[in-house]
Amino acid sequence: MTELEKYYNKFNEEKRLNSPHGKVEFLTSMRYIEKYLSTMQNPKILDVGAGTGKYSVALAEQGYDVTAVELVKYNLGILKSKGSTVKAYQGNAKKLKRFADHSFDCTLVFGPMYHLFGIDEKVQALSEAVRVTKPGGVVLVAYCMNDYAVIRYGFREGHIKESVANHKLDSQFHVKACEEDLYDYVRLEDIDAVNAKVPVERLQIITPDGPANYMRPALHAMDEEEFALFMEYHYATCERPDLLGAAAHTLDILRVK
């Protein structure tokens, strides 16, 4: 069993996305998924790194044809136990050999880029997602962002000095992950570098969670009206370039050339 599998055997991803800050991420991501699906006729969807099926099952319940791939058997078991119409398989984002070229209209890559190490592995995963997606189809790719990690883990949680001493941060405070680390963090220029090696064009890039992860206690304390106002604010600002890089996550929306 890999360290990643051990991690997800304990980490409750379903609970995270059902929390107030996770709900911001989920509702926003679904908003943009649905935006692009609405332009397609009977789209076939592939969810790569589907976890416990939060997105797969929600989309299947809307009547879409959804296929899911998940690396971790524990997560896959939870997904299958939900009894949805999702066709779920164990698989690796870097090798989607089960699927023929141009099989899907829309491909989600919402988990793999968090854990793949370095640009080459990310390019490999994005290349596979593009291969199985039809020309003109849409690929949505989520990333964990560098400066959120520095601000929260480094400064807020008090690990900044050890991170510098252990050379986990360079002189420009860019996280230097290694293969033993569970997460790899990127900046916007790193995402651009991945895209430059794959035949895609960007349609949009947004943050699905904005400031939500910085203000978890405040979100938990909000009543329904306040939370609705926060979502209005977030939807109004989640595409702003000046707010993207510091959020916990970024969602890159690409068209296959």
**Same domain, yes or no, for 48 and 163?**
no
Residues 89 and 107 in one domain: yes
* CA dihedral (249, 179, 14, 158) positive or negative: negative
Q: Give me the pLDDT at residue 2, please.
A: 77
149 vs 169: CA distance, rounded Å: 11
pLDDT of residue 1: 65
* Bridge partners, residue 69, by sequence: 48, 89
From 181, 204, 232, the end of a domain falls on: 181
Rounded alpha-carbon distances, angstroms, from residue 58 to 9, 30, 111, 178: 22, 9, 17, 34
Residue in 36, 50, 44, 38 with CA at minimum distance from that of residue 102: 44
d(CA 99, CA 87): 12
Are 154 and 46 in a shared domain?
Answer: no
What does the pLDDT look like over 218-234, one tens digit per residue?
A: 999 999 999 999 999 99
Kindly indicate the confidence band of residue 217, based on its pLDDT and cuts at 50, 70 and 90.
very high
Contact in structure between 51 and 15 (CB atoms under 8 Å):
no
What does the pLDDT look like over 6-46, one tens digit per residue? Answer: 888 777 777 788 899 999 999 999 999 999 999 999 999 99
Give the per-residue pLDDT at 178.
85
Same domain (yes/no): 120, 136: yes
pTM of the model: 0.95
Domain boundary among the residues 155, 181, 207 is at 181
**Domain around 163:** 146-181
Indicate if 44 and 111 belong to the same structural domain: yes
Q: Does residue 46 sit in the same domain as residue 113?
A: yes
Closest CA to 245 of 171, 151, 163, 181: 151
pLDDT for the residue numbered 5: 76
Q: In the listed set 123, 156, 181, which residue is the last one of a domain according to the structure?
A: 181
What pLDDT digit, counting tens, does each position of 92-133 carry? 999 999 999 999 999 999 999 999 999 999 999 999 999 999
Same domain, 39 and 136: yes
The CATH number that applies at residue 76 is: 3.40.50.150
How many domains would you assign to the chain?
A: 2
Q: Are residues 19 and 63 in the same domain?
A: yes
Q: Model confidence at 52, in pLDDT bands (50, 70, 90)?
A: very high
- Mean pLDDT, the chain, integer: 95
Q: What pLDDT score does 11 carry?
A: 75
